[in-house]
Structure 1
Amino acid sequence: MSKPKDARVKTGIEKMSGGTVIEGEVTADRDVIMGDQNNITLVIQMAGYAPAPNLTQLRDDYLAHLQRNYRALDFKGIPQLDNLSRELLLEEVYVPLVARGELPAGETWERRLAGRALAELPEHAEAMLAKGEAAPVRVEQALAKQSRVVIIGDPGSGKSTLLKHLALRLASETNAPLPILVPLNAYADALAHGDRNLQTYLAEYFAGLAHGIANLAPLFADSIAKGQAVILLDGLDEVQRDRAHLVARVEAFTAEATARGNKVVVTSRVVGYRESPLAPKAWTLFTLLDFDRDAIEEFARKWCSAFEKSVRGDTPEAQASAEEERKSLIEAIDANPGVARLASNPLLLTILALIKRQGVSLPNRRVELYELYLKTLITAWSRARALDKRPVGPLLDYLETIGVLGPLALWLRQENPTAGIVPEERLREWLAKHFQGDEWGLKPGPAAERARTFLASVRTYSNLLLERGQGRYGFIHLTFEEALAARGLVRLGELSLHDSLAIICAHLTDPGWRETILLAVGVWGLVREEPRKAGEVARAILKHECAGENAGKGILLAGACLEDVGELGLGRVAAQEITDALLTAYRHRALPPTVQRDAGFILGRMGWTPPDLNAFIPIPAGEFLYGDDKRKTKIEKPFAISKYPVTNRQYREFVKAKGYDRREFWSDDGWAWRTGTWDSKASDSL
């Protein structure tokens, strides 16, 4: 619904993320409030777009284009979705994202990818954190009153999906602000071929996408001039080359656009934002949080319902089947703590749901999950190619495909580590060279043809490697580029482990390479079942000299490897060596405090306990010096006290042993207190 100035909108009941329920009428000034009578999901405090009469049809055509392009999820070629009778609609499965705009006072909070802590906030982030309470808020609420918003998040946290959701909602409402969604890597590519301002480029971008629609420049110019547009800019981190120039262009456009009353939203991965952040005083920063339990439950309910409706139609049978599938998915997540950690990431949760749908047991380690998903996608690709009668070269099985995509992803990581975008010409050159190598051994002519057919099949069927903008290729998501690059490291290690280690050590302190390195160790140790080699790599990381501000980071990365794959994946000797190094690090006062802290955190998460955890220290009777003033105090009777404070693990064992009901676990006075016979007026025996 739309709301003109000073109007009153009957909403029924609105339930906000904090649990507040508002009944009756809601009044707002110049708000566009979108939702249904039961739930308001988005409030934009600005006027809806009122186009000039000659632009009304162009606006309608443009909004129809947005709705066609963003209404459904795209799972092209995935076997689990081949039999759907209709599309899976984004609005049917979308779960609202939650963000935090301020570090809470007196504590710290971590953003996590699948249960694994990521890098610290960007250097200038704290200056951009939203003022107000530190409690998480729905992103839609966070956007309500801010005109310049940066949303940062981990890989797979839903940044791009959020912008599509916002664009779709605005495009679906009458008299809403005009949404304009553009990927910044496309703008960066345009800048490389000639300087132009961002507003000029907006229409250029859609010229190649919105077929049959007239030039959109007048529409965009009119809406922005009137202050009635919401500009959504996706993927600042995906711009690698000359990012400072692009940031300057974004800043210049935003300053003029917001001065007229428009809103601008920019998204970025956490890793990659710090290099060229937006001006901290001008923008409000929000960091996306992982799905909590409620969000996971909501996703399971929505996903299973939409899926069953797509297969069976909107029938009672579909509803019953959806409920069974929902319970099964939640049970699979709850059955394994590792899976539960993976499920907190929206992208990985979607993958889990797809794999579960195939009847495959869910793994508890990221590397095994990625392995399953890569097999799913490559199998889907091969199936789709097999159905096409055109000759596109021999079908690649999983290992052969990984043999191409792994080294390719590694090359892209080295060429463009935060974006992974490469022009088609350079990609063809790399592929041709690869097919001329020892593994394929093709002559230059056949190798070039093989490269051409490989790219042709990718353009038509691929779920992993996509054409991202005209003549530019990259992987569907950086998460899978990282997973495949890990495969590339392992494959290189088959020829020369020294060369693999050289790449790893060269990027050991680079946050953009952390996931690739961790997954490579996981592939060696768990997928390839070569713990000795995985252990050798982890020990090389451990021993790599990191000086200055990077002191101790090799120890932490080796510890993260051990935390990821366990002793089984690294071997007992390497695991013990890393554990000993972590123990030394967390007591080593010469190391940065953050390294000491994180070493302790890793040990704690791995369940390490001191060998003398249950030791008691005997305290003899007699005099001792007590307090700061060293006054003499006498202990009448000897006793023993535990060396460490009681841990949760010890208390759990006490409860399991029914310690509250067993006399042998208590002193005389303690048991008297426990049974209610203790005399509080009796003198202290000590």
Structure 2
Amino acid sequence: MTAARVVSMRPVVSWPHEVRPGQSYLITVDLDTDLVEDWPYELEEYSVACLAEGTAWCRVESRGSNTLVVHRFGGTYGPIEFVAHVGQPEFSTAEPIRLTFLTGGGLPFRDIELWMSVTAGAAEAATRSRVLRPSPGPADETGTRPQPPSSGVRLSPEAEELATRIREFSLPYLSHIQLPQAETRRVLPVDELYVEPFLLAGSGRTTLDELLGRASRIVILGDPGSGKSTVLSQFAWATAKNTRQVPFLVRLRDFGNRELTLIELLQRTLENMLISAPEVLLEAMLEAGRAVLLFDGLDELIDAGARRHMVGVIEGAARDFPETTVVVTARPIGYPVTPLDDGVFTVAQLAPFTETEISDYVRKWFRIGDTLPPDRGDRLADGFLAEAVTVADLVQNPLMLSLLCTMYATEGFIPDNRARLIDRCAAMMFDQWDTMRSIGIHRFDYGTLRGAVQSLAWQIFTAGGGGVLTRRQALRILTEYLLQWDIADEQTASDVAGTFLDYCAGRAWVLTEVGTTAGEPMFGFAHRTFLEYFAAEYLVRESRDPADVYQAIEPHLGDARWQAVNELTAQVIDRSRVSGADKLVNLAMAGKPTVEATAYCARLLGVVLLSSGTVSRIVDSCVDLACLDLDRRQQPDGSVLSSRNDQPLADILTASRLATAPVVERALEAALARGIEDGNEAKTYLACTLHRFLVEEDPGWSAVQARAVALIPDAVRASRVLGAVVAQHRPALVGAVVAHHGTAPLFETTYVSGQLIPPPAHEILRAEWPVDDGWLDSLTSQLSRAKTPWATEDLTTFAMSAVLDLVNLWPDLPSAERPARLLLCLPFLEDLTRRGMAPYLGEHTDLGRMAFMRSTESAAGLGELGLRLTVDARRMLHRWLTGELDLIKLSGIRGSARPTRTDRSPVFFLSYARTSQQSGARAVTTLFEDLCADVGELVGTDNLGFIDLSSPTDREPWGRAKKEALGSCQVFVALLSPGYVASKHCGQEWDAFSRRETASGPAIIPVIWTPVSRTQTPKVIRHTHLFDPGSVERGVADAYYAKGLFGLSRDAYRAAVWRLAKEIVRTLRSVSVRPTDIDPDSLRDAFAGP
């Protein structure tokens, strides 16, 4: 670790009161990026949020008087927060506290030392920004706790007394929350259950406290059931309990369409707590910055005029009382119709629960109350979390999480059948409706209204769009459905439908009000899974038999939007009809099944139980579909083709239910055996590469593969591609393959499930070889005399892993094996040397010394390696080490669709929103350098990328170098951010590249740099496939979509950038983009629409 460097900083927070032993103070330091020079990575990402010693991602170590060392292991970015327990003897209040922040994980980051003062200055800004959260300390002589002044305006004794009374009276109202499920009225202490969610705002993930440290006017958007009202209630409770601020929580739906002034709103809110508040005292609190205004449910004001009036009231409060914090909640649907001024208010979106938040909530949920002993609650929580892996998409939503906890507590398990799971959740919600039957509409029971909800779901789902209906549309559909039963006239049916919608409107129920637009409420489902489930129920209910059901879903089997409904339909029909799912699958498998039908049936193996005969039909169809010609798997379009045709086979390997797994194994083994016996090359290839279809190694499938490979005859050596593939499992065949076809097949790559898999030589090098000097000597001789070059630069992706595998094996290898293995590894070693990566191998290893000799074109140390070489092998190695012989043909891109890229043109163009902020510019520059390094490692060429480093204020933004790069690069990488989609210049760059003719597919890769809401995202970007980091590391993809690349932790960032580099190279190798001259005057802003 490099030496620590002191960064001089002004005191950022100070405390004007006596420091009391045992009391905690939260001090926030906002890093001034201009003061930290030569920081190697994005400063925002590596700032430390140290809330307390013992957190999961940092450790605090005391090193003498006033010195702490904070070891960072991960966590959020943003302001540095430090809890100073100043009552500890090692802290002196007379001197500033010195903090040293160290990054963890063994990465070569620097230390930074920061200085903070806790003794002098004004701290009211800290309080207003919510960074000061002292635990309730001892009262002073007057009985009040220490408070920082706000704007310098002192309250009168009457106003101070009112403020105290409001806080005290507020606590009982705010200290409990109700569980969100409709079937219970249970309320619980807020501090026993509440888990603080993250917000998505601008630069990434943050919390409300952190966001208020940067902005004092905030809008929080969240769907029904996402917890936005709970966030506001808890914030109000914490403010009243822990600070001298006075929270005013105004639930706007309680005021209907009444157009009240701000003071009237506050007075009506206080009247609910039996507090009378004179206008003059309320205004004094607002002017002094002692009030915190919290407006819940702006979009719930249905009347457009009332909502516009309320927007004016809130904006007026923000303008007239600049010292006052203002937070507003709303639902995404409807908010854009009458938004608050985005120049004043920062908009944030509630993020789905993370794994940590889910775990915290579940453990709290099962510990609350006195109904269970603590150990029993912990066991239930552990069991729930283990089973919840199968419903990971549902438990990210607080409403669904609470429902599932209730179900687990009563039933002891989470149904593995999604239809049954959603049915149980819906039943718990519908039960609450039964309590409403006393209002005179008891004739319409659970079943009747459930059917009405199914009709609504079908109408919403098949209509597409945003998944919502206006109240009038929903009322019409429900009324028409109820009239079908001939037990009510139209007025009664309409009244029942209206009452039902009114009931749903105020609750996070199955069906709920999701927003308001054009003066009318909008209704939708609390979670999309409810919509999909009830749509599936409707489809089955309205169909006479499975044939009707299949006729309805067949046109949509390849539609991703229908995937969940199609699978739920199979589960519903299997529950409602004898062998319903079997009959549905047999209809899909009739004749020659389509790709879409086969893929659908393969997925069903993971969700329904099917008969053995039906399972065998699905397996046979999946195997037949994956039987691609081997040469097609080597072509540039092999990625797309194999991704489509191999996926069903991958699905049956990973998603089959435990009860049918043995049937799937037997059926697959039989299908492969028949293919091998018939000499089917494609099925023999599948047997050899079966492990490539698995996400992780599985002993059962490994045994199936071993038995199938054992059936393959040695005669396959006569097949060019297949012989090399089989040699992965039988290294003794390598010599025969070389004799028949040369070395090329050993180093050719193929695609499986859309992924480029290592060449056979890579696998042969790591395999166990039979001990037989005869075949080894023969192989060494054949390799020594084989024609060159042996390989193309396609093997670059796998070069490092192949060489490192051999480095690890080398010490334990028999001397007889070393020459042949070394010769087989030479192309990989040459690739590393060519790209300057020889030093990574170390000179203390034989392969490292070989790489060093090759890089210096000297064979002087060859004799010191102790290799038992034939004359031919020694001669060949000497020529290779001295540079006389190259084994890799540097031919660029494989195949006839080679991109028309000149040596001077860059591989990729990095398009981003220029900013005047140095930290943002440095972050983009760092990304560009990392991408160049990774792409260079993969393709080994020069001039890898282009980035425009001109200032956003430059008068001439279209320099010659930029125009040439944009007109000749092969891949366009766009860093999406709110600034990017709003930039006309970025839109012109996008337009310039998109005008160039392409072959074989798109070459634009949009990357989420910082989150952009869907409403902000231009249509042209929404219609372009976003970069997906995939499963390179657990949780990376989720974090990427939530925070963007800019907001990832260092390890996650590196994993995602490496995957991005591979995607750039994949695009380079499969897409051809014609060069063209760029005329800036002809370009339009692609983001401005048609």
Give your verdict on TM over 0.5. yes
Check if 1:640 corresponds to 2:746: yes
Aligned to 2:402: 350
Which of 191, 194, 204 aligns to 1:94? It is 194
Q: Distance in 2 between matches of 1:155 and 1:474?
A: 12
* Deviates most, 372-381 or 278-287: 278-287
Aligned to 1:180: 249
Check if 1:673 corresponds to 2:810: yes
User: How many Å apart are 1:673 and its aligned residue?
Assistant: 1.8
Check if 1:199 corresponds to 2:299: no
Q: Could you tell me which amino acid in structure 1 is paired with residue 381 of structure 2?
A: L
8 Å Cα contact 1:406/1:487 also seen in 2: yes
Of the two structures, which has the highest relative contact order with CA contacts closer than 8 Å and spacing of 6 or more?
Answer: 1
Which of 350, 360, 364 aligns to 1:302? It is 364
Which of 20, 24, 33 aligns to 2:85? It is 24
Q: Could you tell me which amino acid in structure 1 is paired with residue 810 of structure 2?
A: W
Q: Distance in 2 between matches of 1:243 and 1:574?
A: 59
Check 1:236–1:391 CA distance in 2 against 1; reply closer, same or farther (3 A cut). closer
Give the secondary structure class of the aligned counterpart of 1:230: strand
**CA displacement 1:202-244 (0-9 Å, x = unmatched):** 448738x827444786665443333333333445676788699
Aligned to 2:227: 158
Which of 438, 445, 463 aligns to 1:396? It is 445
Q: Could you tell me which amino acid in structure 2 is paired with residue 70 of structure 1?
A: L
8 Å Cα contact 1:45/1:145 also seen in 2: no
8 Å Cα contact 2:470/2:521 also seen in 1: yes
Which of 215, 229, 248 aligns to 1:146? It is 215
Aligned to 1:169: 238
Aligned to 1:72: 176
Q: Distance in 1 between matches of 2:267 and 2:636?
A: 57
Q: Could you tell me which amino acid in structure 2 is paired with residue 14 of structure 1?
A: A
User: How many Å apart are 1:373 and its aligned residue?
Assistant: 0.9
Q: Could you tell me which amino acid in structure 1 is paired with residue 408 of structure 2?
A: K
Aligned to 1:249: 311
Which of 423, 435, 438 aligns to 2:484? It is 438
Check 1:499–1:19 CA distance in 2 against 1; reply closer, same or farther (3 A cut). same
Give the secondary structure class of the aligned counterpart of 1:73: strand
**CA displacement 1:30-72 (0-9 Å, x = unmatched):** 134336479xxxxx99839976555566656654664344322
Correspondence 1:387-466 to 2 at 5 A: 393-394=442-443, 396-397=445-446, 399-407=447-455, 422=471, 433-435=480-482, 437-444=483-490, 447=493
Q: Distance in 2 between matches of 1:232 and 1:177?
A: 11
Check if 1:11 corresponds to 2:16: no
**CA displacement 1:263-297 (0-9 Å, x = unmatched):** 23344556776777665554445454443333233
Check 1:369–1:288 CA distance in 2 against 1; reply closer, same or farther (3 A cut). same
Aligned to 2:888: none
User: How many Å apart are 1:478 and its aligned residue?
Assistant: 4.5
Correspondence 1:490-639 to 2 at 5 A: 490-491=537-538, 494-495=541-542, 520-529=565-574, 612=685, 614=688
Check 1:329–1:406 CA distance in 2 against 1; reply closer, same or farther (3 A cut). same
8 Å Cα contact 2:509/2:526 also seen in 1: no
Give the secondary structure class of the aligned counterpart of 1:34: coil
Identical aligned pairs, as a percentage?
Answer: 18
TM-score by length of 2: 0.41
Check if 1:34 corresponds to 2:73: no
8 Å Cα contact 1:181/1:234 also seen in 2: yes
Check if 1:487 corresponds to 2:539: no
Q: Distance in 1 between matches of 2:261 and 2:465?
A: 23
Gaps of 5+ in 1: 39-43, 102-128, 312-317, 539-554, 621-634, 652-658
8 Å Cα contact 2:194/2:361 also seen in 1: yes
Check 1:489–1:662 CA distance in 2 against 1; reply closer, same or farther (3 A cut). closer
After superposition, the CA RMSD in angstroms is 6.5
Check 1:359–1:636 CA distance in 2 against 1; reply closer, same or farther (3 A cut). closer
Q: Could you tell me which amino acid in structure 2 is paired with residue 47 of structure 1?
A: S
Q: Distance in 1 between matches of 2:303 and 2:636?
A: 40
Check 1:282–1:333 CA distance in 2 against 1; reply closer, same or farther (3 A cut). same
8 Å Cα contact 2:219/2:328 also seen in 1: yes
Check 1:336–1:373 CA distance in 2 against 1; reply closer, same or farther (3 A cut). closer
Give the secondary structure class of the aligned counterpart of 2:367: helix
Q: Distance in 2 between matches of 1:588 and 1:251?
A: 64
Q: Distance in 1 between matches of 2:267 and 2:599?
A: 48
Aligned to 1:293: 355
Give the secondary structure class of the aligned counterpart of 1:14: coil
**CA displacement 1:136-169 (0-9 Å, x = unmatched):** 4444223223223344456644333211211121
Check 1:677–1:343 CA distance in 2 against 1; reply closer, same or farther (3 A cut). farther
Give the secondary structure class of the aligned counterpart of 2:52: strand
**Number of aligned residues:** 569
User: How many Å apart are 1:487 and its aligned residue?
Assistant: 2.0
User: How many Å apart are 1:92 and its aligned residue?
Assistant: 0.8
Aligned to 2:828: none
Q: Could you tell me which amino acid in structure 2 is paired with residue 73 of structure 1?
A: I
Aligned to 1:332: 384
Q: Distance in 2 between matches of 1:501 and 1:242?
A: 44
8 Å Cα contact 1:524/1:533 also seen in 2: no
Aligned to 2:1015: none
**CA displacement 1:444-485 (0-9 Å, x = unmatched):** 46546756886898899996578999x99887x952587258
Check 1:339–1:588 CA distance in 2 against 1; reply closer, same or farther (3 A cut). farther
Q: Distance in 1 between matches of 2:646 and 2:426?
A: 31
Q: Distance in 1 between matches of 2:180 and 2:349?
A: 30
Check 1:93–1:495 CA distance in 2 against 1; reply closer, same or farther (3 A cut). same
Q: Distance in 1 between matches of 2:458 and 2:282?
A: 40
Q: Could you tell me which amino acid in structure 2 is paired with residue 6 of structure 1?
A: P
Q: Distance in 2 between matches of 1:460 and 1:483?
A: 18
Q: Could you tell me which amino acid in structure 2 is paired with residue 178 of structure 1?
A: P
Check 1:449–1:331 CA distance in 2 against 1; reply closer, same or farther (3 A cut). closer
Q: Distance in 2 between matches of 1:302 and 1:405?
A: 33
Q: Could you tell me which amino acid in structure 2 is paired with residue 67 of structure 1?
A: L
Give the secondary structure class of the aligned counterpart of 2:289: coil
Q: Distance in 2 between matches of 1:74 and 1:253?
A: 31
Check if 1:229 corresponds to 2:291: yes
Check 1:492–1:429 CA distance in 2 against 1; reply closer, same or farther (3 A cut). same
Q: Could you tell me which amino acid in structure 2 is paired with residue 265 of structure 1?
A: V
Q: Distance in 1 between matches of 2:645 and 2:344?
A: 38
Q: Could you tell me which amino acid in structure 2 is paired with residue 11 of structure 1?
A: S
Q: Could you tell me which amino acid in structure 2 is paired with residue 199 of structure 1?
A: L
**CA displacement 1:408-467 (0-9 Å, x = unmatched):** 5677898996887849xx9877765543x1124423465467568868988999965789
Correspondence 1:374-393 to 2 at 5 A: 374-382=426-434, 384=435, 393=442
Q: Distance in 1 between matches of 2:414 and 2:498?
A: 37
Q: Distance in 2 between matches of 1:640 and 1:225?
A: 78
Check 1:608–1:270 CA distance in 2 against 1; reply closer, same or farther (3 A cut). farther
